[in-house]
Amino acid sequence: MTTGVRRRMGVEERRQQLIGVALELFSRRSPDEVSIDEIASAAGISRPLVYHYFPGKLSLYEAALKRASEDLAARFVEPPEGPLAGRLLRVMARFFDFVDEHGPGFAALMRGGPAVGSSATNALVDSVRQAAYDQILAHLKVTEPPARLELAVRSWISLAESTALIWLDGRRIPRTELEAQLVHDLAALIAVSAAYDDEMGALLRRILKDEPADGPFADLVGRLITLAS
Amino acid sequence: MTTGVRRRMGVEERRQQLIGVALELFSRRSPDEVSIDEIASAAGISRPLVYHYFPGKLSLYEAALKRASEDLAARFVEPPEGPLAGRLLRVMARFFDFVDEHGPGFAALMRGGPAVGSSATNALVDSVRQAAYDQILAHLKVTEPPARLELAVRSWISLAESTALIWLDGRRIPRTELEAQLVHDLAALIAVSAAYDDEMGALLRRILKDEPADGPFADLVGRLITLAS
C-alpha cells in the first residue's frame, strides 16, 4: 500500500515536472517550434516516457497553458486597500512581468495558430479574461455591472492584451510607461462612456472621489486640461 | 479554343457562386456547424461537385473569408474630405454594417477555434487589421508613425473588434452609440498618450485644430469638462 501511494505520488510529480519543463520551452519559443523530443531531452527522460504521461504535444501544451493561466490569474489578485489607480498599477506591473517571462509563448497564443487554437486553449484564455474582469469589478465595488461598464472593462482587457503584444514586438516603448498608460486608458474609456450616459457618469464620480489629489488619475486630468487649453 | 475559354469562365463562375453561398452560410452560423452537404444543397449541386472545386471545407472557408476580408477592407476607404471625426464615424457605421451582416461568422472567426485558426485565416484577419491601420494613418496624414501612435491606433483596432464582439453578444447597447463611442475612444487613447509625450501632444493638437467647434470631438471635450467640474 505504501509503495502504491509512493508510485501515485511519483506519477503526479513527474507530470508536474514535465509541465514545468514544457512551460519553460513553450514560453521561450512559439509552441509550434517545440518538439516532444526537445521536451523529453530537457526533462532528462525518453520520448516514449513523455507519451506515457501525456498522449501528445497538445495535451502537454494545454497542461502548461493551464498552469500559466492560473499563475497569471493569481497575479491579478490585489488587496482592496488604498487608491484604486495604485492598485491597478501594481496589477499592470505583474501583468507585464508575466508577459516578459512568457513572451514568445504569450504572443503565439494570443495571435492564434494551428497548435494553439483548440477549444480547450480558448477556454483557458477566456477564463483568465474572466478572472481579470471579476477582479476589476470587485475593486470597483460593482456586483451588477450595467452593460456599458461591462463593455468598457471587457474591451479594455483586450486593449491590455494588444498593448502587451505590440510591446513584445520590438519593445520600443518602456513597459513602465505602458503600465501607467493602461491604467489611464481604463479611466479614459469609462470617461468616454460616462460623457454620454448618466449611470456611467455617477460611477466615474464615485471612483474619482476616493482618488488622491496627487494620484495617477488626477495627474492625467491635469495634463489633459493643460493639453486642451 | 472558344469552348476552352467558355469552360474556364464556367469554372470560375461556379467557384464564385460557391464562395457566395458558403459565405452566406458561414456568416449566419458558426463555421464549425456548417457542413459541405449543406453548402452543396444551398448551391443546388452535388457534394462531390463541391469537392471538385474546393478540396475541403477549410479551403472553401478560406475563400469565403478572403471575399469577406476584401469587402470589409473596402468599407474602410473614405474620401479624405471634411472633418476627421465625421469620416471615422462613417467608417464605423460601415464596420458595424459588416458585423451585423456577418455576425455569427465574425464572432466565430474572432474568437478562434478549430475550424478558423489556420495560418491562412490568421493572415487574412491580419491583412484587414493592416488595411484599417493604413487608412487611419493616411487620414491622420502620417507616413512615419512614432511608436506611440502605432500603439494607439493598433490597440484601438483591437478595441473596435472586441467592442463589436461584445455588441453581438446580446446587442444590449444601440450600435449607433457604439459607433460614436469608438470614434471618441480613439481620440481618448491618443489623448492619454499625448498627456505624457510631446510628439503625441503635437499630433493631437494638429488633429483637433481642423475639427469643427460643433463636431464630435469638441462635444466630447465639452462633456468631459462638465463631468470633471
Q: What integer pLDDT is reported at residue B116 of this predicted model?
A: 61
State the average pLDDT over residues A10-31: 92
Residue with cell 487613447: B189
- In angstroms, the separation between the Cα of residue B200 and the nearest Cα of chain A is 11
Of the CA atoms within 13 Å of residue B102, those in its CB half-sphere come to 25
pLDDT under 50 in chain B at which residues?
Answer: 1-8
- In angstroms, the separation between the Cα of residue B125 and the nearest Cα of chain A is 10
User: Which of the pair, B228 or A149, is modelled with greater confidence?
Assistant: A149
| Residues B61 and B20 sit within 8 Å (Cβ to Cβ) | no
What rounded mean pLDDT belongs to chain A?
91
ipTM reported for the complex surpasses 0.95: no
Q: What integer pLDDT is reported at residue A116 of this predicted model?
A: 61
User: Which of the pair, B1 or A59, is modelled with greater confidence?
Assistant: A59
Cβ neighbours for A229, distance < 8 A, ≥ 6 positions apart: none
CB contact under 8 A, B122 and A112: yes
Q: Which of A156, A158, A162 sits opposite B154 (nearest CB)?
A: A162
Measured between beta carbons, which residues in chain A are less than 8 angstroms from residue B194? Answer: 227
A37, pLDDT greater than 60: yes
Measured between beta carbons, which residues in chain B are less than 8 angstroms from residue A180? Answer: 196
Q: What integer pLDDT is reported at residue A6 of this predicted model?
A: 43
Q: Which three cell numbers, joined as nine digits, stand for A132? A: 481579470
Domains of chain A in start order, with CATH, are 69-228 (1.10.357.10)
Q: Which of B113, B180, B228 sits opposite A221 (nearest CB)?
A: B228
User: Which of the pair, A189 or A122, is modelled with greater confidence?
Assistant: A189
Q: Quick count: other Cβ atoms within 10 Å of Cβ B46? A: 12
CB contact under 8 A, B119 and A119: no
pLDDT > 90: percent of chain A: 75
Q: Which of A128, A91, A94, A93 is nearest to A110 (CA)?
A: A128
Nearest chain A residue to B125, by CA: A111
DSSP assignment, residue A31? G
The DSSP-derived string for A88-104 is HHHHHHHHHHHHHHTHH
Mutate to test the interface with B, among A161, A221, A224 (most CBs of B within 10 A): A224
Nearest chain B residue to A125, by CA: B111
Nearest chain A residue to B171, by CA: A147
User: Which of the pair, A224 or A153, is modelled with greater confidence?
Assistant: A153
What whole-number distance in Å separates Cα of residue B121 and Cα of residue A44? 38
Torsion, Cα of B134, B139, B142, B148 (10° steps):
-70
CB contact under 8 A, A184 and B177: no
CB contact under 8 A, B114 and A114: no
Helical spans, DSSP H, in B29-83: 36-43, 47-53, 57-75
CB contact under 8 A, B223 and A195: yes
Measured between beta carbons, which residues in chain B are less than 8 angstroms from residue A147? Answer: 170, 172-173
